[in-house]
Amino acid sequence: MKTIADLGDLRGRRVLVRSDLNVPLDGETITDDGRIRASLPTITRLADAGARVIVCAHLGRPKGEPDPRFSLAPVAARLGELLGAPVAFATDTVGDSARQSVADLDEGRVAVLENLRFNAGETSKDEGERRAFANALASLADAYVSDGFGVVHRAQASVYDIATRLPAAVGGLVQTEVEVLRRLTSDPTRPYAVVLGGAKVSDKLGVIDNLLATADRLLIGGGMVFTFLRAQGYEVGRSLLEEDQLDVVRGYLERAERDGVEIVLPTDVVAATDFAADADHEVVAADAIPADRMGLDIGPRSGRLFAEKLLDCRTVFWNGPMGAFEMEPFAAGTQSVARALADVTRAGALTVVGGGDSAAAVRQLGFADDDFSHISTGGGASLEYLEGKDLPGLSVFEQQEN
């Protein structure tokens, strides 16, 4: 894949950068600016090279029209603070404000376009509509840099179509993400453990299927674990359960046993009467969840078990929290895994936190980014890469090489 160095002298050139600035907001307050910080190196490199940098990104899921709840204005303001320089903000995507903001840019300066998804063409299933929006974006720039790894699994106007219309390259963030994920899929240093959590088994069917041929151990927590427990014949009370996936999970358990892959499930869970921070809760055996309770975290014995199973690992990938970490009574399991990963990182292991809720969890629980080898910015994209799927935002560059 071509990199920024392949674009040549950028001084004075307008460079459109597709970043991933999809940060969590509480009103207009950014509660985790990790993705903005991750985007800084590429934006700074382009600005230092004298480019006129035009940043485009999405936030949330507006329905193809402006929605003030999803404006990138707070993100542009935070980006300016982090850069230590003014950042212009266009109040539209390809309209008068965007064109004027770009026209006013001096060398080495940065502008941010309004949320791409305010334009229906960004995510349209209609190829003509999507291409028309890509053409409008391309008219603003002389070159394109793809640096939003969190969206490379989407065939969208600013991810795929635009790369066929301008001299194009991947940015440093995408380059690093691909290099790290290749280390997880191509002869990883062993033992190799994968920790999976989150709500649903169905969200991770493909990646589990693929990892059974790659990993030495799978540690399963989060809401998805209750489908595994039920598949073993245990009652799970009112816990999250996907009945339609039980046969699939049984197949995974049988395949793992046959192929020598260790699947580690919790031995105890924190079971509550309701999904609420103040709900009555207790630690119970994983095979004895009361009928009137729901599991909201792995228990303390399980936290220690998971940590022990990670101690000798040389490669670890983690995607999905172990419980409802947003609520203090149900955060200990996720904290145990994060602490174990930090320990093995210091011991020299490659540890990759797979973006999304996992990245938010480690920061919320007080861990620093450098406690881990790599925190991915792409939850869904990371999983699809590990699943072996074609990612349009990467394949478009590989096609150009062939």
pLDDT per position as a tens digit, 219-244: 999 999 999 999 999 999 999 999 99
**60: how many CB neighbours lie within 10 A of its CB?**
15
pLDDT for 401: 66
Predicted pLDDT at 395? 95
- Residues 272 and 295: their CA atoms lie apart, in Å, by 6
The answer on pLDDT for 400 being more than 80 is no
Catalytic machinery residues: 35, 200, 356, 380
- The pLDDT mean for the chain works out to 95
Model confidence at 356, pLDDT cuts 50, 70, 90, reads: confident
Q: Which residues are annotated as a binding site for (2R)-3-phosphoglycerate?
A: 35, 117, 154
Q: Say whether 86 sits in a helix, a strand or coil.
A: coil
Please give the average per-residue pLDDT across 170-189, as a whole number: 94
* 187-386 and 4-175 share a CATH fold: yes
Q: From 3.20.20.150, 3.40.50.720, 3.30.565.10, 3.40.50.1260, which CATH number describes the 187-386 domain?
A: 3.40.50.1260
Which residue ranges make up each domain of the chain? 4-175, 187-386
Strands (E), 152-273: 168-170, 192-196, 217-220, 262-264, 268-272
DSSP H or E run through 238: none
Mean pLDDT of 117-132: 97
- Amino acid sitting at position 4: I
Q: For residue 192, how many other CB atoms are within 10 A of its CB? A: 20
Closest CA to 47 of 84, 95, 21: 84
Q: Which amino acid is at 48?
A: D
Give per-residue pLDDT as tens, 247-296.
Answer: 999 999 999 999 999 999 999 999 999 999 999 999 999 999 999 999 99
The per-residue DSSP string of 317-380 comes to EEES-SS-TTSGGG-HHHHHHHHHHHHHHHTT-EEEE-SHHHHHHHHHTT--GGGSSEE-S-HH
Secondary structure class of 55 (helix, strand, coil): strand
CATH topology of domain 4-175: Rossmann fold (3.40.50)
Mean pLDDT for the stretch of residues 345-363:
89
Binding-site residues for substrate, in ranges, read 20-22, 35, 58-61, 117, 154
Residue 146 has pLDDT above 60, yes or no: yes
Annotation: binding site: 20-22, 35, 58-61, 117, 154, 204, 295, 326, 355-358
Predicted local confidence at residue 402, as pLDDT: 56
Mean pLDDT computed over 295-301? 98
Q: How confident is the model at residue 353 (pLDDT cuts 50, 70, 90)?
A: very high
Token pair belonging to 292: 């009137």
C-alpha to C-alpha distance for 298 and 225, rounded to whole angstroms: 9
Q: Vertex 321, ends 320 and 326: CA angle to 5°?
A: 130
Please check the confidence at residue 136 and state whether its pLDDT lies above 90: yes
pLDDT at 134: 98
